[in-house]
Amino acid sequence: MTGLEVDEEIMGATYRALCRHGFAALTMQDIADASEKSKAALHYHYDTKHDLLVAFLEFLLDRFSDRVASVDGANPATELLAVAETVLDPPDAADEREFRTVMLELRAQAPYDAAYQERLTEFDRVIRDRVRETVEEGRAAGFFRDDVEPAETAAFVVTVVSGAQTRRVTLDAAHCPVETARRILRQHVETLLADGEAIGE
């Protein structure tokens, strides 16, 4: 195993252990049990559980940034909605519910933990930056109206997807907060279009 493969293996084990045990109850032993490594070997790479979890957040942030960067669309409107989908419909659907819950647990730790807060704030920034760029490009191309404010659109998108994420963890199954968010976003994007343009599919 190369160093990179070791890191990947530990990150995968951390993901599985978090999905199985949740954030609050997680121990280094749980991560070792989900890994090919012993607990001692884990501690060789990461001094504390906190260090490992910060590295895990950075690992997720890297993957998320790559996904957000690689989003594409037939036009700036579909691209903007596709950026929102990186949050609303992430991959790894098998453990999706468990993992979303873990992420909300982590978000609730942010006020107590500057290292978590810093990385979680970065997730928010990655989305906003990407939306802003998409709106700027769409405006320059005459696809969006001239008076659309990229930073305002970015704030709108990140607020709506954050609301959907929290509601989908919190509410009972009778609710479909993600579908709600999709409608809200699509309707908002309609208001950004220059005359004669359409979102399309």
Q: Which residues contact 197 (CB under 8 A, 6 or more apart)?
A: 75, 77, 143, 144
Q: Give Cα separations from 38 to 128, 146, 199 (angstroms).
A: 40, 58, 52
Which helix (H) or strand (E) covers residue 181, if one does? helix 177-192
**Cross-strand pairs, 144:** 193
**Applying CB under 8 A, which of residues 21, 85, 162, 186 lies at the interface with a copy of itself?**
162
Angle between helices 150-170 and 114-140 (to 10 degrees): 130
CB of 83 to a copy of itself, least distance (A): 15
Does residue number 86 form part of the binding site for a copy of itself (CB under 8 A)? no
Stretch that binds a copy of itself, among 46-54, 62-70, 71-79, 163-171 (CB under 8 A): 163-171
Nearer to a copy of itself, 50 or 175 (CB): 175
Look at the alpha carbons of 4, 6, 8, 11 in this order and tell me if their dihedral is positive or negative: negative
Does residue number 160 form part of the binding site for a copy of itself (CB under 8 A)? yes
CB of 20 to a copy of itself, least distance (A): 12
> What is the footprint of a copy of itself within residues 24-83 (CB under 8 A)?
24
Binding site for a copy of itself (CB under 8 A): 22, 24, 97-98, 101, 104-105, 107-108, 110-112, 117-118, 120-121, 124, 152, 155-156, 158-167, 169-172, 175, 177, 180-181, 183-184, 191
